[in-house]
Structure 1
Amino acid sequence: MNTKKLFGLVVIVFIGFWMFTDPSGLATTSKSLAGQGWDLATQAFRGVIDFVGAMK
């Protein structure tokens, strides 16, 4: 079996196990990661906008 497929399967099984054993913990973690991802994307786009604005 391919290593990438095996790793993906292990991740899916882990998330499934986590979802059934602690759904509120998974929801809290997901919400936190989504918020951090949004903050990172916002910071990156602001950097690009500032860079392009400084080129004028």
Structure 2
Amino acid sequence: MDAKKLIAVVVVVFLGFWMLSDPRGLATTAKDAGGEGWGVTEKLFTGVIDFVGAL
């Protein structure tokens, strides 16, 4: 088994264990990560728009 598949299996097993042992914690973490991801995406596009506008 190559390294990528092994890492994917470990991540899936970890997330499955976390979902069974603390579903609310996983949901809160996923919600927070999604919000932060959206914030980073907004900053990235704002930066690109400002850069193109400055050209």
Task: State the TM-score bracket (shorter-chain normalisation).
Answer: over 0.9
What's the CA shift for 1:18? Answer: 0.3
With normalisation by structure 1, the TM-score equals 0.95
Which structure 1 residue ranges, 5 or more long, are not aligned? none
Residue number in structure 1 paired with 2:37: 37
For the pair 1:14 / 2:9, whether they are aligned, the reply is no
Divergent runs of 4+, >3 A: none
What's the CA shift for 1:39? Answer: 0.3
What's the CA shift for 1:3? Answer: 1.1
Q: Return the alpha-carbon distance in structure 1 between the equivalents of residues 51 and 11 of structure 2.
A: 38
Which structure 2 residue ranges, 5 or more long, are not aligned? none
Q: Return the alpha-carbon distance in structure 1 between the equivalents of residues 20 and 28 of structure 2.
A: 14
Aligned residues: 55
Q: Return the alpha-carbon distance in structure 2 between the equivalents of residues 35 and 28 of structure 1.
A: 11
Q: Return the alpha-carbon distance in structure 2 between the equivalents of residues 38 and 53 of structure 1.
A: 22
